[in-house]
Chains A and B, each alone.
Chain A
Amino acid sequence: MRVVGNTSVGNAVRPTINSANFGPAYDLYDRNVDCDANTWFGNRYRTFNPPCVTNGGQQV
């Protein structure tokens, strides 16, 4: 899996209702441990999880 050169910003605004039912909300998110074998590179973002999704990227 390759996730490269995307711009992902302004997402995951927490809801105003019943936010307890929501889990993590990020611009970039890989739920696999250490991103498994996925390649994340050169993406622009504000929020992320885990750090492996930020490789070569830019937090804006």
Chain B
Amino acid sequence: MTRPRKFGTLLLAALAGTLPTVGGVGAQVGLSCGSTITADTTLTADIGPCPSFGLIVGADDITLDLGGHRVFGTPQPLDNAGVYMKGRSGVTVRNGTINAFDAGVAIEGGSGNTVTGIRAVDNIGRFSGGVNSRFGDGIAIMSSTNNRITKNLLRNNAPYSGVGVYTLIDSNHPRDTSGPASGNLIDSNDILDNRLGRDGSLGSTDNDGIRLETNTTGTVITNNRVNNSGLDGIALFVGSADTVIRNNQVTTTACTGPQPATATASWSVAPRTAPSSRTTSFAGTATTASSCAILLGRCPEQRT
């Protein structure tokens, strides 16, 4: 085991996994699974396999450059997020691969962060059989505002989305940070093959390429390529308002299998009283699930 050394304001958690070596300006040594980053950092080696969390961002206005390296978890669920930031603002995460966690990048609270040049692949959580992951997305934005998700590859993440934006707190994305997810930009990403369902199979998937759940507002979705999603390519749940979806290519939505019985329940939502710019009205009876490229107004009740 290598003795951890401080560099700048780096805080070190318990060592585990591969230790990177000293790098150039801004690089930090002694990073390992679960390390908290509090200064500009460039990785000089891969990190993993990590049993719980890859790197945690612990300061505002810093850059975590993966340096083309990989941060990786384990094939099993419950290893949390590859890069996790809670209550952080002005952080940039860029240039590398994050895979085999429950989420590639998880942004909880805070605002104005940027994720770019990240390959988030094979981050697969689970919500079935008594195994309930906190996440299940390539990139998850939870109760956070004005973030920029640009020029990333988000492939084979599950069971919720390639990119998921969440305002409400529920058992799928439990947290102690509340507040709206608003004003987020999802631009110029390749969002591919996010298909697997909550039980790890294709048969009951409700996995979406881009998923805006209830009460997300002001999201801008532009210039993305969304291909081969499990349920919907771009799905907006009821109450996701003031969204702009422009110049995306959405193809080959998979429609891979039947929804479970809970998705066939009847439901009724009272007509909206919100401002006319909002899509909150949805009255009727749904007896089946949908699989669409761009869909507005999926009812929360349709979630499994």
Contacts and interface: CB of A to CB of B under 8 A. Distances in A.
Interface of A: 1-15, 17-18, 21-33, 35-38, 43, 45
B149 to A, nearest CB: 18
B248 A12 contact: no
Contact of B293 (A11, A18, A21): A11
A31 B296 contact: yes
B7 interface: no
B246 A11 contact: no
A4 B257 contact: no
Contacts of B264: 21
Given A6-B249, A10-B252, A11-B252, A1 B296 contact: yes
A27 B294 contact: yes
A32 B259 contact: no
Size class of B's contact patch?
A: 35 or more
Interface of B: 203, 233, 236, 241-259, 263-264, 272, 276-279, 281-283, 286-298
A21 B294 contact: no
A31 to B, nearest CB: 4
Given A13-B255, A15-B255, 10 more contacts: A1-B244, A4-B247, A8-B294, A11-B255, A12-B253, A22-B291, A27-B292, A30-B295, A32-B296, A36-B279
Given A23-B288, A25-B290, A29-B294, A1 B255 contact: no
Contacts of A43: 294
Nearest to A18: B258
